């Protein structure tokens, strides 16, 4: 596509990033997102969430956290999926301190926690590992 001088749009990039996510190709997904930014194509939360998903599937929790921070910096809205994915990968890889930090993030809406058994379960596990049972009871 790029070798034939065809101009890629945000829709094209979204499709390519989604394919990378489905194929667990986190490096390519990140590369495509960087290409989007370099070309001045507006990125959106769907693009970021697909890259976050690809990274999470491959245990790249540091990249997941960086991408969430980048979303906040750029004013790209996060959503329940963003946090469910991030909290899930951090919990799965024993990064309970980061689960606690994500749970305290001002961008995390309380309704996302109450409506997501994944977030609640990961948070309870993290609170248990952090010996913060009182906070677990508050969920």
Q: Which tens digits make up the pLDDT trace of 32-76?
A: 999 999 999 999 999 999 999 999 999 999 999 999 999 999 999
User: How does pLDDT run across 9-38, given as a tens digit for each residue?
Assistant: 899 999 999 999 999 999 999 999 999 999
Query: What would you measure as the largest C-alpha separation in the chain, in angstroms?
Result: 59
The whole-angstrom separation of Cα 122 and Cα 74 is: 27
Q: Across residues 89-118, what is the average pLDDT?
A: 79
Q: Across residues 101-116, what is the average pLDDT?
A: 73
Q: What are the structural domain ranges in the chain?
A: 1-77, 96-139
Decide: pTM greater than 0.85.
Answer: no
């Amino acid at each position: 596509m790029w070798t034939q001088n065809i101009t890629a749009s945000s829709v094209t990039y979204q499709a390519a990033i989604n394919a990378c996510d489905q194929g667990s190709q986190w490096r390519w997904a990140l590369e495509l997102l960087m290409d989007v930014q370099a070309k001045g194509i507006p990125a959106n939360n769907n693009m970021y969430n697909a890259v976050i998903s690809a990274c999470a599937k491959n245990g790249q929790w540091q990249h997941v956290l960086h991408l969430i921070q980048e979303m906040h910096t750029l004013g790209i809205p996060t959503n329940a999926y963003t946090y469910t994915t991030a909290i899930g990968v951090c919990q799965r890889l024993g990064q309970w301190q980061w689960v606690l930090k994500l749970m305290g993030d001002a961008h995390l809406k309380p309704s996302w926690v109450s409506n997501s058994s994944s977030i609640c379960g990961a948070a309870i596990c993290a609170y248990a590992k952090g010996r913060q049972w009182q906070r677990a009871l508050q969920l």
